[in-house]
């Protein structure tokens, strides 16, 4: 046996094991629930309301993330300043924060007894137990996915292009819209898809910060959790899980087709 061939065999084995381990649970969801059962379970009011609420809250959260995150990312990407690494770390922190910690942190900040709680209720805004609270939780956990990708994409733009636009008389806003946005669009789109996927799956922060009530704060992941512990709820839990898996798979595939991998590599660049 040639030296190294055993390693190649080992690597193939490792790849097969890894793939099987990751795929089996996903496939098991579909193996456990037939198409008929799936449709029937999805026809229940609770499931429908949960999916509809998930759709509304995630889209609203994404709109906020994009509206605020795009210019913010552009600024951070195009300026050199002291403490940049710290800013980037702060932006990425929610990525690695356990969801329960995110929920506690949101309560400590925006909850009725949180440091900003009195100001928020003083302004007549209610977040806890409200759909708005779900959106706040989703923005908090999903924004870093978009911001990270957007910063990397803007940073990868050739500075000379922007300079050329400026010498041709374009103001900063015009240069941003006509040069920066089109060049970064694939990166922005894949960041958006990842943020959406993450927002759809958010559980802990929503439950701790916004609570769980059908039609108001009970998003699909919360409904799955509630279903799991109900008598005969396992099938509904599987059906909702199947929908979330399909949507997430579509989003990931979208990222791949958009060339999001290139943009992800861009994230590594300084």
Q: Is 212 in the site for another protein (CB under 8 A)?
A: yes
Residue 213 CB, nearest approach to another protein (Å): 5
What is the 8-class DSSP label of residue 230? S
Tell me which of 213, 249, 253, 257 binds another protein, using CB under 8 A: 213
Residue 230 CB, nearest approach to another protein (Å): 5
Query: How far is 257 from 269, CA to CA, in rounded Å?
Result: 22
Query: How far is 270 from 77, CA to CA, in rounded Å?
Result: 10
Query: How far is 195 from 65, CA to CA, in rounded Å?
Result: 9
Indicate the residue among 30 and 234 with the shorter CB distance to another protein: 234
8 A C-beta contact, residue 240 and residue 50: yes
Q: Is 150 in the site for another protein (CB under 8 A)?
A: no
Q: Is 234 in the site for another protein (CB under 8 A)?
A: yes
Query: How far is 75 from 4, CA to CA, in rounded Å?
Result: 49
Structure tokens belonging to residue 98? 């356990």
Q: Is 211 in the site for another protein (CB under 8 A)?
A: yes
Q: Is 32 in the site for another protein (CB under 8 A)?
A: no
Residue 15 CB, nearest approach to another protein (Å): 19
Residue 244 CB, nearest approach to another protein (Å): 19
Stretch that binds another protein, among 22-30, 163-171, 187-195, 211-219 (CB under 8 A): 211-219
Residue 130 CB contacts under 8 Å (≥ 6 apart), including other chains: 210, 216, 217
Residue 28 CB, nearest approach to another protein (Å): 12
8 A C-beta contact, residue 247 and residue 51: no
Neighbours of 48 (CB within 10 A): 13
Which residues would be at the binding site for another protein (CB under 8 A)? 107, 111-113, 117, 128-129, 207-208, 210-214, 216-218, 225-226, 228-231, 233-234
């Amino acid at each position: 046996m040639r030296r190294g061939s055993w390693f190649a065999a080992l690597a193939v084995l490792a790849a097969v094991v890894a793939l099987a381990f990751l795929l089996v649970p996903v496939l098991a969801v579909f193996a456990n629930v037939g198409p008929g059962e799936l449709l029937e379970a999805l026809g229940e009011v609770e499931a429908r309301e949960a999916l509809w609420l998930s759709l509304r809250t995630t889209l609203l959260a994404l709109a906020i993330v994009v509206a605020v995150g795009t210019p913010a990312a552009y600024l951070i990407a195009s300026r050199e300043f002291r403490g940049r690494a710290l800013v980037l770390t702060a932006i990425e922190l929610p990525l690695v924060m356990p969801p329960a910690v995110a929920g506690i942190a949101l309560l400590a900040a925006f909850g009725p007894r949180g440091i900003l709680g009195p100001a928020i209720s003083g302004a007549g805004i209610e977040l806890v137990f409200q759909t708005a609270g779900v959106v706040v939780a989703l923005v908090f956990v999903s924004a870093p996915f978009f911001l990270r990708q957007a910063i990397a994409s803007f940073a990868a733009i050739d500075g000379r292009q922007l300079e050329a636009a400026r010498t041709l008389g374009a103001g900063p806003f015009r240069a941003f819209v006509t040069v920066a946005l089109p060049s970064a669009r694939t990166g922005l789109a894949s960041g958006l898809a990842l943020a959406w996927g993450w927002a759809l799956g958010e559980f802990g922060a929503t439950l701790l910060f916004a609570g769980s009530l059908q039609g108001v704060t009970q998003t699909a992941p919360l409904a799955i959790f509630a279903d799991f512990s109900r008598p005969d709820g396992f099938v509904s839990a599987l059906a909702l899980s199947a929908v979330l898996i399909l949507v997430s798979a579509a989003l990931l595939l979208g990222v791949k087709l958009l060339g999001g991998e290139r943009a992800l590599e861009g994230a590594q660049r300084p």
